[in-house]
Structure 1
Amino acid sequence: MRNNGAVDSDLSRSVTVLGSTGSIGTQALDVIDRNPGRFGVTALAAGGGRVDLLIEQAVRTGAKTVAVADAAAVPALKEALPGVTVLGGPEGVAEVAAVESDVVLNGITGALGLTSTLAALEAGRTLALANKESLIIGGPLVKRLAKPGQLLPVDSEHSALQQSLWAAAPPGSGYDPEVVRRLVVTASGGPFRGRTRSELADVTPEMAMAHPTWSMGPVITINSATLVNKGLEVIEAHLLFDIGFDRIEVVVHPQSIIHSMVEFVDGSTIAQASPPDMRLPIALALGHPGRVAGAAPAVDWTRAHTWTFEPLDDEAFPAVALARHVGAEGGTAPAVYNAANEVCVEAFQQGRLSFLGIVDTVAKVVERHVTTPATSVDEVLAADAWARSTAKGMF
C-alpha cells in the first residue's frame, strides 16, 4: 500500500510492544503516550532486566497482557499487576506477539526476536519490525509468511528506502523493482570514521560506545562502530525490497540527516531527510498508511546545512563486504554471521577480545560454516547455536 502522506488523527489503533523497556520500545511508548486518541497499548513484552520499568509501563498504558522472557520475573509482575495476564519465558513473549492487536512492534534485541516475528505474522498482525535479526537469521521463513503490506520496517534506513519507493510509485500501486538502479544505504561512519585499520587496534569499549549521532543500546552501538550493523542492514534491504546485492551500496554520511536514498534508472535519486530521531520511523510504521503529526522534529531549513558523503573504507571496516558474502550465500550463513557477532561483541565488552577481533573472528566462523537451507526455525537456531559455540572457542 502506498503512503499518501495523510494524517489520520482520528484513527484508534491497538499496539503490542515487544522489547518495551529497550531503546526502541521506550521511544515507541513515547509516541503512543503523545497520541492517546490515535493509539492504545494492548500488550507489552520485555526481557526482564528492568522489571520495575515494565511494571510502570503496564500501569501507565493499561496493557492487559504482559510477558517477560526471564521467567524468574513472573512472580514480581503478578504481584504488582493484579488483573493483568502475565506470561513468562521466550514462549510467553511469542504468545504475546500473536495477541489480538492492530500492530505488533518488535523491538526485541537479538535472535530471540525471530519466534515473535513469526508468531505475529502467522496470526495476521501488521508487523512493525525493528528486530533486524528476524530477517537476517530467518529471512526465508519470514518472507514465506509475510503477506504484501504486512511487514513494515522500523530501521531508519529501511524506512527511508520505503518512503522513497512509495514516493516514486503511482498512486494505488506498488513500486517496480526494474525502475530501481540501486538502493543507497547511508552510514554515519560511527565514532571511528576516517581511521585506518591500524588506528583501530587499541579501541576500547568506552570509545566504541561514543556514537556521534545516535543514542542506542550497547550491542547496536558497538555494531555501528564496527559497521556490522550496516552489513546487517544491507542483507535486510535485499530481503525487504527484493533488490540484488550488486544494486545495494553503502555510503558514509556523517551528519545522519539523509537516512537512505533510492536511485532510479533514469538517473534521478529520491532521498528521505530528517534529524536523527527513531520516533519518526517508529511512528510511520505504527500509523501506516498515514503519518503521525509531530512525531519528531523536522530539519530546520532556516539554518545553513552542509551534508557530506564519502565512500566506505572496506579495508578498515570489512563487515559490510562480509555481510554481502553471507547474504548472497543465503540459507543459514546470515544466521551464523549474526550469532558469531553477538558473542564477539559481548567478549569485546568484557575485555576478552580486541575491537578488530570482532569482525576477524566472525569471518573465521563464517569460513568454517557449511551453509544449509533455512527451512525451519530449528535449523536456523541450530546454526545460531553452532556459531556461538564456535566463536567462543576462538578466544
Structure 2
Amino acid sequence: MIAQHPDEFQVVALAAGSNVEEMIRQVKQFKPKLVSMATQEAAEAVQREAGTNVKVLWGEEGLLEVATHPEGTFVMSALVGSRGLPPTLAAIRAGKKIGLANKETLVTAGHIVTQAAQEANVPVIPVDSEHSAIFQCLNGERRQDVRRIILTASGGAFRDWSRDQLREATVEKALQHPNWSMGAKVTIDSATLMNKGLEVIEAHWLFQLPYEQIDVIIHPQSIIHSMVEFVDGAVMAQLGTPDMKVPIQYSLTFPKRLPLRTPALDLIALSRLDFRAPDLQRFPCLKMAYEAGRSGGTMPTVLNAANEVAVECFLKGKLSFLSIEEIVERALSTHNPVQNPTLEEIEEADQWARKFAQDCAESMASMT
C-alpha cells in the first residue's frame, strides 16, 4: 500500500523476524532509518547488506525502539502472539497512532491497553478484517444504538469435518485455508475457531461491548467481513474480496480513502452468500474463549498463552490437532485467575500457562 502511494507515506522504521532477504529488499526500496530483527544473527546479516545508512537492532530492545521512533507517527502492530504487547503499549505511551493487527495485545491486557490509549489520547484503529469492518460500519453511528455486532468466520480448513475426521487432521491439511493467505499460527487458530474466539475478546475491548452483544456466524465465502445490527433492526455490513490490503490501507488513511489496486468484488459472479451457526461441540475453542472473556482477569491471558504453546507443538508434529483444545481446557480449568491484573501479574499468568501447556504437551507426547 505504501509502495502504491509513495507521496503519502514515509517508512522510518521496520521490524521483522528472521527473513533477512525480504528485509534487505524492503530496506533498499523504502530506506528506513531503523530496522530490528528477531535475532542478532539476522540483524548482522541485514547490516552487512544495508550499510551504514540504516541502524539495525535485534530482539525486544529493537522492537521497542522501532515502536517509539521519534519520527514515526503511526505504528502498525502486526507481531504474532502476546510478544506484541510491550512494543504496542510503548508506542501508545509515546503518542503514536496505532494500527492494531495483533489481537493478542487486547486479549492479554485489554483493560491496560485501552486505558493507556485513552490517557494518551491515541486512536487504536483495528486492522483485522472483521474488526475493520465493524469500525467502518460504526462510522457516524451512536454506540448506544448498537444491538449487537456479528463477526463472520470462514470456518477454516476443517469447517465441514466431523469429530472423527478431526482426530486424524494433519498439519498439512490444517494449513490449507480455503480463503485467506495467512501465517501458520493464525491459520491453525482459524481451523480450531480459536482465532474467532480471540477476535471476540478483541472486539469486546475495541468497541466496549459486553459479550452478550458479540455474535459469531460461519460465512464460508468470506465476502461479508462483519456486520452491525442496530436497535431499529437495520443491519450494516462491510463487503469485499478476501484481501487484507483494504483494512491495512484504511487504518493508514482513516478517515479518508485512497485508490487501491485490488480485484473488484463481483457479486453477480459470486451469485450467493451462505451462513450458518458455529458448532461449539465440534469446535469448543470458541466456547472457551467466550467463557474466558466473561471471566476476565488473567483468564484470557491463560487462554492465549496455552493456545500458543499447543499450536506450536502441533505445528512441530508433537501433538494431535484435538490436543490443542484439550491443553487449553486443562490450563483454564487449573488456573486461579487474578482480577484486574497488573502487567506483572499478566506476565506471571502468561508464563505459568506456557509452562503448564508445555508440560501437558510433553506428557501427551510420551503417551503416544
Q: TM-score, normalised by structure 1?
A: 0.88
**Could you say which residue in structure 2 is the equivalent of 1:103?**
74
The reply to whether residue 134 of structure 1 matches residue 100 of structure 2 is no
The reply to whether residue 41 of structure 1 matches residue 11 of structure 2 is yes
Q: Aligned partners of 1:375 and 1:394: how far apart in 2?
A: 25
**Could you say which residue in structure 2 is the equivalent of 1:151?**
124
Q: For 1:83, which of 44, 50, 53 is the aligned residue?
A: 53
Contact between 1:68 and 1:90, CA under 8 Å: does it hold in 2? no
Paired residue type of 1:242:
Q
CA shift, 1:376, in A, is 3.2
CA shift, 1:374, in A, is 5.0
Contact between 1:280 and 1:295, CA under 8 Å: does it hold in 2? no
Alignment RMSD: 1.4
Q: Aligned partners of 2:290 and 2:229: how far apart in 1?
A: 20
5 Å matches for 1:272-311? 272-311=238-277
5 Å matches for 1:236-275? 236-275=202-241
Paired residue type of 1:60:
Q
Aligned length: 357
Q: Aligned partners of 1:251 and 1:304: how far apart in 2?
A: 19
Q: Aligned partners of 2:229 and 2:348: how far apart in 1?
A: 38
CA shift, 1:347, in A, is 1.1
Deviation per residue, 1:213-238 (Å, 9 max, x gap): 00101000000000000000000000
Q: Aligned partners of 1:389 and 1:382: how far apart in 2?
A: 11
Paired residue type of 1:228:
M
Contact between 2:95 and 2:122, CA under 8 Å: does it hold in 1? no
Deviation per residue, 1:297-348 (Å, 9 max, x gap): 2312453520011011000011111001111111211111111011111111
**Could you say which residue in structure 2 is the equivalent of 1:19?**
none
**Could you say which residue in structure 2 is the equivalent of 1:94?**
64
CA shift, 1:205, in A, is 0.4
The reply to whether residue 347 of structure 1 matches residue 313 of structure 2 is yes
The reply to whether residue 124 of structure 1 matches residue 90 of structure 2 is no
Q: Which moved more, 1:53-62 or 1:273-282?
A: 53-62
Q: For 2:2, which of 32, 54, 77 is the aligned residue?
A: 32
Look up the SS of the partner of 2:12 in the other structure.
strand
The structure-2 alpha-carbon separation of the partners of 1:94 and 1:225, relative to structure 1 and needing over 3 Å to count, comes to: same
Q: Aligned partners of 2:75 and 2:9: how far apart in 1?
A: 12
Paired residue type of 2:108:
I
**Could you say which residue in structure 1 is the equivalent of 2:366?**
none
Look up the SS of the partner of 2:216 in the other structure.
strand
CA shift, 1:146, in A, is 0.8
Paired residue type of 1:202:
E
Q: Aligned partners of 2:27 and 2:108: how far apart in 1?
A: 31
Q: Aligned partners of 2:236 and 2:229: how far apart in 1?
A: 7
Contact between 1:283 and 1:295, CA under 8 Å: does it hold in 2? no
Q: Aligned partners of 2:340 and 2:56: how far apart in 1?
A: 32
**Could you say which residue in structure 2 is the equivalent of 1:57?**
26
Q: Which runs of 5+ in 1 are unaligned?
A: 1-30, 170-174
The structure whose RCO (Cα within 8 Å, separation 6+) is larger is 1
Q: For 1:198, which of 146, 149, 164 is the aligned residue?
A: 164
Q: Aligned partners of 2:340 and 2:183: how far apart in 1?
A: 28
Q: Aligned partners of 2:31 and 2:124: how far apart in 1?
A: 26
Runs of 4+ in 1 over 4 A off after TM superposition: none
Q: Aligned partners of 2:234 and 2:41: how far apart in 1?
A: 55
Q: Aligned partners of 1:324 and 1:295: how far apart in 2?
A: 37
Look up the SS of the partner of 1:190 in the other structure.
coil
Deviation per residue, 1:74-102 (Å, 9 max, x gap): 32233222121222221221121011212
Deviation per residue, 1:332-376 (Å, 9 max, x gap): 111111110111111111222111110121011011111113543
Look up the SS of the partner of 2:147 in the other structure.
strand
